Structures are given as structure tokens and as C-alpha cells.
């Protein structure tokens, strides 16, 4: 399902970037607010609910870092090596995403 709302697209992109930067973790609502300059957790909750309805993210499960993307996979170093992926390049990519989600990416 496609998203027509720009805020929802931006939230989804931030969640994707955050989870690329910090595999296995999700951003808090406060981090979403700060990164996207939104007004309140209610605003974030509203848009997250829309993303859940659209099937883009899984329903939050009772913890403040429970947002997960549909069809996402956590790759460990062992998995990467088994798949023939360069772990150091993956780490460099994660560092790039960390700079982006922490506001230091140009």
C-alpha cells in the first residue's frame, strides 16, 4: 500500500534509517519528534497508527522501542559472512545511517 501523507513517509524513512543504523532497535517517539520537528507524541502516535493500518510497520507491543518494519531482517556478523557480505562495509554503512539519524549527515 502506498503512502500519500508526507509526514507518514518521513516517519517511515526515519524508522528505516534508524533501524539500519541501530539494528534490532527502534527509535522512540521522542526521537521521531526531535528528528522531524513534530509537535507531540500524539501526532507521532496518529501517524504510526496510519502506518500500522497501511501494513508498513508492526503494531507497537507495549514498550517504547517496539516499532518494527514489516519484512525487515537483522543481519549479524555471522549471517553476513555466511552470505558472503563484507561485514566492514556493512558497519561503514551503519555509521553513515547513524550520522544521518543523529542529525550530522550532509
Q: Which domains does the chain have, with CATH numbers?
A: 6-101 (1.10.10.10)
pLDDT (tens digit, 9 = 90+) per residue, 70-83? 776 677 788 888 88
Cβ-Cβ contacts under 8 Å for 89 (sequence gap 6 or more): none
For residue 72, give the nearest of 13, 5, 20 by alpha carbon.
20
Cβ-Cβ contacts under 8 Å for 44 (sequence gap 6 or more): 11, 29, 32, 33, 38
Under the banding of pLDDT at 50, 70 and 90, the label for residue 106 is: very low
Pull the grid cell for residue 6: 508526507
* pLDDT on residue 3: 61
Asked whether the whole model's pTM tops 0.75, one would answer: no
pLDDT (tens digit, 9 = 90+) per residue, 24-59? 788 888 899 999 999 898 998 899 889 989 888 887
Amino acid at each position: 500500500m502506498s503512502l500519500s501523507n508526507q509526514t507518514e513517509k518521513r516517519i517511515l524513512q526515519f524508522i528505516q534509517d534508524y533501524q539500519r543504523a541501530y539494528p534490532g532497535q527502534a527509535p522512540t517517539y521522542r526521537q521521531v519528534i526531535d528528528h522531524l520537528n513534530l509537535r507531540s507524541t500524539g501526532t507521532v502516535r496518529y501517524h504510526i497508527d496510519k502506518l500500522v493500518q497501511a501494513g508498513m510497520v508492526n503494531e507497537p507491543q507495549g514498550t517504547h522501542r517496539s516499532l518494527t518494519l514489516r519484512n525487515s531482517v537483522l543481519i549479524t556478523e555471522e549471517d553476513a559472512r555466511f552470505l558472503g557480505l563484507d561485514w566492514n562495509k556493512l558497519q561503514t554503512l551503519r555509521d553513515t545511517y547513524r550520522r544521518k539519524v543523529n542529525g550530522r549527515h550532509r
